[in-house]
Amino acid sequence: MSLLEVRELDVVYRRQGVDVHAVVGASLALERGEITGLVGESGCGKSSLARAVVGLVEPAGGEIVFDGTPLSPLRRRARPRHETRLQMVFQNPYSSLNPRRTIGSQIADGLRFGGERDGVARRHRTGVLLEQVGMSPAAAGRFPHQFSGGQRQRIAIARSLAADPEVIVLDEPLSSLDASAQAQIANLLVGLARKLDLALLLISHDLAIVRHIADAVSVMYLGRIVEEGRTRDVWAGPQHPYTEALIAAIPTADGRGTLPEALPGEVPDPASPPSGCRFHPRCPHAFERCPTEDPPLYDLGAGRASACFLRDPHGAARHPTPTHEGAR
């Protein structure tokens, strides 16, 4: 059994009187000691899924099962205390820390909430947590503005570890850092996952980083999971046209790696998604079935899945005729 399972999750926002379906029927699983990447363009619903998992957003449907037990649909503050085993690290380390408090006091908050009442024990444990993320225990008495962005993100990770979690959701934790800090934090996350047997959900639009550190990957487009599998397998043979285009767009040392002409335009407005397959207006392989039917996530075996009619094991169209829209 997976440590955490997201099953057919829906997240809906109300915007100017219109329901916006940010996440639609999304399912994924996290395993102990592994990093799972969730990738896709900005606005595809990654952060909405992450916030729903940790209870910051109330799902409109589906369920989240943690260690065999369905999580309460209530918001985070109303959840039982034992669910502190599920933590989150946010994107911006400059805004996620309180500038008026020392970092030691902020890390100690997690220890206190976890039941540690002894002040001496909290101070000792705070030092241990700082060392665990590659910082000196002496840093506990300093304030956030005295640290670089990479150091602040290490502090945010230490604070999440204070609750002794089993799952940590990381929402674009590297996007605001320079390349050197990104590499250091990425390696830190791999080490923590292996050493502490943590399950990490890494939300990112940077596929190069995900390829480097994630064991498994789920690809999201306009609120739906369109492909999933082990990272090495997805990169070796993407089974959805969107995944293929994303991988082709990764920058290379010689400057190549721009969005292919076969993938024009932007992610559509989730308040008014395309009919049928949501990707079909941008897909070079779209055919007559795509604008009218929404493909399920087909099980391809060996842990692979793809929401594309080209992967339908019972589909009649093996050599489909492209539509005018999809072939442009």
Distant-in-sequence, close-in-space partners of 301: CB < 8 Å, separation ≥ 6: none
Residue 43 confidence (pLDDT): 86
In a domain, 214, yes or no: yes
Distant-in-sequence, close-in-space partners of 93: CB < 8 Å, separation ≥ 6: 149, 152, 153, 155, 156, 176, 177
In a domain, 100, yes or no: yes
CA dihedral 222, 224, 226, 228 (to 10 degrees): 130
Q: What range does the domain containing 90 cover?
A: 4-235
In a domain, 287, yes or no: no
DSSP state string for 272-321: SPPSSSTTGGG-TT-BTTTTT-----EEEETTEEE--GGG-TT-S-SSPP
CB 229 within 8 A of CB 217: yes
Residue 22 confidence (pLDDT): 95
Phi-psi domain of 197 (left: phi exceeds 0; alpha: psi -120 through 50; beta: other): left
Map tokens 């999971």 to a residue: 225
Cα angle vertex 35, ends 46, 27, to 5°?
45
In a domain, 122, yes or no: yes
In a domain, 313, yes or no: no
In a domain, 297, yes or no: no
Report how far residue 43's alpha carbon sits from residue 158's, in angstroms, rounded to the nearest whole number.
Answer: 28
Distant-in-sequence, close-in-space partners of 6: CB < 8 Å, separation ≥ 6: 26, 27, 28, 29, 49, 53, 62, 64
Number of domains comprising the chain: 1
Strand 61-66 versus strand 69-70 pairing type: antiparallel
Residue 253 confidence (pLDDT): 57
pTM recorded for the entire structure: 0.90
In a domain, 249, yes or no: no
Q: For the purposes of burial, counting CB atoms within 10 Å of the CB of 57, is it exposed (0-12), middle (13-18) or buried (19 or more)?
A: buried
The CATH number of the domain holding residue 102 is: 3.40.50.300
Tokens of 16: 């100017």
Report how far residue 163's alpha carbon sits from residue 161's, in angstroms, rounded to the nearest whole number.
Answer: 5
Length of the chain: 328
pLDDT beneath 50: ranges in the chain: 75-76, 78, 82, 257, 262, 317-319, 321-328
Q: For the purposes of burial, counting CB atoms within 10 Å of the CB of 1, is it exposed (0-12), middle (13-18) or buried (19 or more)?
A: exposed
Residue 268 confidence (pLDDT): 86
In a domain, 300, yes or no: no
Give residue-wise pLDDT tens across range 46-77.
999 999 999 889 999 999 999 998 887 654 45
Give residue-wise pLDDT tens across range 198-245.
999 999 988 989 999 999 999 999 999 999 999 999 999 999 999 999
